Amino acid sequence: MSTRRDLPQSPYLAAVTGRKPSRVPVWFMRQAGRSLPEYRALRERYSMLAACFEPDVACEITLQPIRRYDVDAAILFSDIVVPLRAAGVDLDIVADVGPVIADPVRTAADVAAMKPLDPQAIQPVLVAASLLVAELGDVPLIGFAGAPFTLASYLVEGGPSRHHAHVKAMMLAEPASWHALMAKLTDLTIAFLVGQIDAGVDAIQVFDSWAGALSPIDYRQYVLPHSARVFAALGEHGVPMTHFGVGTAELLGAMSEAVTAGERPGRGAVVGVDWRTPLTDAAARVVPGTALQGNLDPAVVLAGWPAVERAARAVVDDGRRAVDAGAAGHIFNLGHGVLPESDPAVLADLVSLVHSL
């Protein structure tokens, strides 16, 4: 087990744990990715999955935005389907499509045949995390995983889906099979994240990318108990935890219940907010004392500097009002990942602007 780094000056760790940061902390989801020319050059030699399972490559990609931007956190380069691959699922990440599952999981027999995560299969990811802890100095490292529901979405649908029809049909028509699947994916997610924590990451984020497809009633019945179990298990390890999804305005309260299931005093629980919901509205919906992360529309970055500056100032102001209204802290981020068309120079200027406010 890794010894946790002591980073008392980190603005990010201060904000997520309810302390006053020295400046507004900022980092970007997908800050390492297709917007960076150095990333595109490296990816010409490696597929997405190969890059995730090659420690030196994953380490280099994670560090690329740290060299470019004065961001307050790094996030481990990986993919949410990596633990599925490590559990023996036959899948690929197809360019311009996303994860594609060779044999979708749709029956009780399919669920019963699923294997647990192979600890040896994720060793390259954990080696990358250990290398990064040594390289990052005083910059905290965020580990991450996909939430059980989002993993289930890929498994059941066979890939990305607009309507999630197969997922919802299984959930409603075969609840026993659904909960058995979610239980297995919850165990897998816990094992993957605990491995990262033991490797030295300073915080974790759980991405429930497709949770916004659900009604609040269905989320509470079919998803919340499993997500809460993930965070409850992680809370014993004493790292700050963030829960994020897209299109989740009506789910923010329930998502905050999940992430705070594992909170320990002073350790920090955060809910990520997309650009559709003002941070002040989010503060009124989440469990009191939860920090908020977000929420500049990623498309604004493409709109020219005057628009970027106006929108960024508005987000920072809204974040301060949210804290005044009871949120434990605010971490500036986009409301989703950096778009591939984004200009790195604009992102660098955005970081500087946020830090100046």
Q: Which residues contact 166 (CB under 8 A, 6 or more apart)?
A: 104, 106, 156, 157, 158
Select which of 79, 208, 274, 318 is catalytic.
79
Q: Is 79 annotated as a binding residue?
A: yes
Whole-number Å distance between alpha carbons of 355 and 26:
8
Q: Is 154 annotated as a binding residue?
A: yes
85 labelled catalytic: no
∠ CA 214-300-253, rounded to 5°: 30
The partner residues of 108 in beta bridges, in order of sequence, read none
4 labelled catalytic: no
Select which of 12, 30, 39, 229 is catalytic.
30
Whether 40 and 53 have beta carbons less than 8 Å apart is answered as: no
267 labelled catalytic: no
Q: Euclidean distance between the first and final Cα of the chain, in Å?
A: 39
Select which of 4, 5, 19, 34 is catalytic.
34
Q: Is 209 annotated as a binding residue?
A: yes
311: which 2 tokens? 């929108």
Q: Is 123 annotated as a binding residue?
A: no
Match 């509470």 to its residue by tokens: 220
Whole-number Å distance between alpha carbons of 274 and 69:
22
Please write down the long-range contacts of 320-323, taking CB distance under 8 Å and 24 or more positions apart. Answer: 321/279, 321/280, 322/279, 322/280, 322/282, 322/283, 322/292, 323/283
321 labelled catalytic: no
CA nearest neighbour of 200 among 146, 136, 245: 136
Q: Is 34 annotated as a binding residue?
A: yes
Select which of 43, 68, 106, 267 is catalytic.
43
- Based on the number of CB atoms within 10 Å of its own CB, is 294 exposed (0-12), middle (13-18) or buried (19 or more)? buried
Q: Is 30 annotated as a binding residue?
A: yes
Select which of 69, 154, 219, 222 is catalytic.
154
Conformation bin of residue 266: beta by default, left when phi > 0, alpha when psi is -120 to 50:
left
Look up residue 22 and give its amino acid.
S
Indicate the Cα dihedral angle 250, 251, 256, 261, nearest 10°: 150
Q: Which residues are catalytic?
A: 30, 34, 43, 79, 154
Q: Which residues are annotated as a binding site?
A: 30-34, 79, 154, 209, 336
Q: Which residues are annotated as a binding site for substrate?
A: 30-34, 79, 154, 209, 336
